C-alpha cells in the first residue's frame, strides 16, 4: 500500500500531535499536502490504530486489521443493476479499496423500481458512468475502474489482481460462464439471484459445482413471471456484500458448499448444504 518514503512522510506528519481520529477534512488535507493517495493515508492511520471517522462505525465489526485488509482489496462487480448497484454502494461505504465494475447497459424506466443508481435524470445514461459518479461522491478513497461492456471485456490483469467477484448478472447462461471464468482465475464468486419475494446467495469457491447443480439445463427462472421487486434486490445484495466482506476482511476461512434461499413473504430462510 505504501512505499518506505511515504511511510516516512506520514510518520512525520502524524507524530506532530497525538491523533486518535481523523475527520474527512483532516485526511484530505494530509493527502493534498503529502501527495499520497487518500486510500494510503487511511490505511496508514488504521495501521497506527487511528480511526478515520468515516469508518468508525465499521471498526467494532471489522477491526483495524479487517478494515485495512478491506482497503487493500479489489472486487469485480459483474452487472450494475438491481444487485450490483446496491453492492457497489455498500462496498464503497464499507471501504473496499478497488472496485471494478462491468455493465454494457444504460438505464431505462423498468430499472427504476429497484436499481439504486437509476433515477429520472439518469435514464439513458450508462450504468458504469453512474456507478463511477456515485462512488466518487460516497468515498473518493475508492478506486473505480469501469467497463462499459460485458464481463468478458475485463482485462486479464484485472482478474489477476482481484480478490473476489460478484455475480450480479440477470441471465443464467452468463452466470455459468462467469463461474467458469472465476474458477480459471482461482477466484471466489459471490452468486446472488432474485425473483419475486425470493432470492438466493452462495459463495461459489473455485471449481465448485453449485451453479451446475442449481441451474442444470435451465435457461430462465421464475423472475420472468414474478419480476424483481426492490426489497428482494436490496436484501440479496446486502447478504452478498456481507459474505464478500467476511472473506476480504479475513473473517471467513471455512469453505462451505452452501446456498442460502430466502422467501421474504414467508420470512423463511433456508441454508442448504450442496
Partner 1 sequence: MLLEIRLFATFRHRRFKTKQMELPVGFLLGNLLKKLDISIKNVGILLVNGKHSDKETRLIDGDVVAIFPVVGGG
Secondary element (H or E) of residue 91 = helix 82-94
Q: Is residue 168 near partner 1 by the rule CB under 8 A?
A: yes
Q: How far is the CB of 108 from partner 1 (least distance, A)?
A: 15
In b/e form, how buried is each residue of 3-35, taking b as 16+ CB within 10 angstroms? eeebeebbeebbeeeeeeebeeebbeebbeeee
Which residues within the stretch 240-259 sit at the binding site for partner 1 (CB under 8 A)? 259
The total of other beta-carbon atoms located within 10 Å of residue 257's CB is: 15
Q: How far is the CB of 265 from partner 1 (least distance, A)?
A: 8
Q: How far is the CB of 106 from partner 1 (least distance, A)?
A: 16
C-beta closer to partner 1: residue 70 or 117: 117
Member of 141, 142, 169, 182 binding partner 1 (CB under 8 A): 169
Looking at the DSSP assignment, which residues form a beta bridge with residue 164? 75
**Interatomic CA distance for residues 107 and 129, integer angstroms:** 11
Report DSSP state, residue 81.
Answer: S
Q: Is residue 82 near partner 1 by the rule CB under 8 A?
A: yes
**Interatomic CA distance for residues 29 and 106, integer angstroms:** 36
Binding mask 214-233 for partner 1 (x = CB under 8 A): xx-xxxxxxx-xxxx----x
Residue 116, helix vs strand vs coil: coil
Q: Is residue 134 near partner 1 by the rule CB under 8 A?
A: no
Q: Is residue 14 near partner 1 by the rule CB under 8 A?
A: no
Q: How far is the CB of 196 from partner 1 (least distance, A)?
A: 7
Which residues within the stretch 177-216 sit at the binding site for partner 1 (CB under 8 A)? 192-200, 213-215
Member of 14, 64, 205, 261 binding partner 1 (CB under 8 A): 261
Q: How far is the CB of 152 from partner 1 (least distance, A)?
A: 17
Rg (Cα) of the chain, in Å, rounded? 19
CA angle in degrees (0–180, nearest 5) for 78-232-61: 75
Member of 8, 231, 268, 269 binding partner 1 (CB under 8 A): 268
**Count of residues near partner 1 by CB under 8 A:** 44
Q: Are 100 and 74 in contact (CB under 8 A)?
A: yes
Query: What Cα–Cα distance (Å) separates residue 137 from each residue in 103, 131, 149?
Result: 20, 10, 23
CA count, 13 A, side-chain hemisphere, 198 = 13
C-beta closer to partner 1: residue 40 or 99: 99
Q: Is residue 175 near partner 1 by the rule CB under 8 A?
A: yes
C-beta closer to partner 1: residue 29 or 272: 272
Q: What is the dihedral sign for C-alpha 217, 274, 169, 148?
A: negative
Residues contributing to the site for partner 1 (CB under 8 A): 79, 81-84, 168-172, 175, 192-200, 213-215, 217-223, 225-228, 233, 259, 261, 263, 266, 268, 270, 272-274
Amino acid at each position: 500500500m505504501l512505499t518506505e518514503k511515504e511511510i516516512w512522510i506520514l510518520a512525520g506528519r502524524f507524530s506532530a500531535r497525538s491523533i486518535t481520529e481523523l475527520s474527512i477534512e483532516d485526511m484530505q488535507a494530509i493527502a493534498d499536502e503529502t501527495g499520497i493517495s487518500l486510500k494510503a493515508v487511511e490505511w496508514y492511520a488504521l495501521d497506527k490504530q487511528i480511526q478515520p471517522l468515516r469508518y468508525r462505525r465499521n471498526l467494532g465489526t471489522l477491526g483495524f486489521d479487517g478494515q485495512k485488509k478491506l482497503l487493500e482489496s479489489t472486487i469485480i462487480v459483474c452487472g450494475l443493476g438491481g444487485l450490483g448497484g446496491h453492492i457497489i454502494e455498500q462496498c464503497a461505504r464499507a471501504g473496499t479499496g478497488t472496485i471494478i465494475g462491468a455493465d454494457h447497459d444504460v438505464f431505462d424506466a423498468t430499472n427504476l423500481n429497484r436499481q439504486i443508481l437509476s433515477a429520472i435524470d439518469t435514464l439513458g445514461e450508462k450504468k458504469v458512468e453512474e456507478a463511477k459518479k456515485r462512488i466518487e461522491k460516497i468515498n473518493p478513497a475508492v478506486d473505480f475502474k469501469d467497463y462499459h461492456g460485458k464481463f468478458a471485456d475485463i482485462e486479464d490483469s484485472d482478474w489477476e489482481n482481484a480478490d473476489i467477484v460478484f455475480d450480479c448478472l440477470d441471465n443464467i447462461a452468463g452466470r455459468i460462464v462467469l463461474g467458469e471464468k472465476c474458477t480459471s482465475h482461482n477466484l471466489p464468486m459471490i452468486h446472488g439471484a432474485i425473483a419475486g419475494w425470493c432470492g438466493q446467495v452462495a459463495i461459489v469457491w473455485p471449481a465448485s459445482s453449485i451453479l451446475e447443480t442449481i441451474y442444470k439445463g435451465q435457461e430462465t427462472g421464475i423472475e420472468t413471471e414474478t419480476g424483481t421487486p426492490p426489497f428482494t434486490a436490496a436484501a440479496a445484495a446486502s447478504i452478498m456484500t456481507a459474505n464478500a466482506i467476511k472473506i476480504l476482511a479475513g473473517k471467513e476461512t471455512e469453505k462451505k458448499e452452501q446456498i442460502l434461499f430466502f422467501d421474504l413473504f414467508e420470512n423463511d430462510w433456508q441454508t442448504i448444504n450442496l
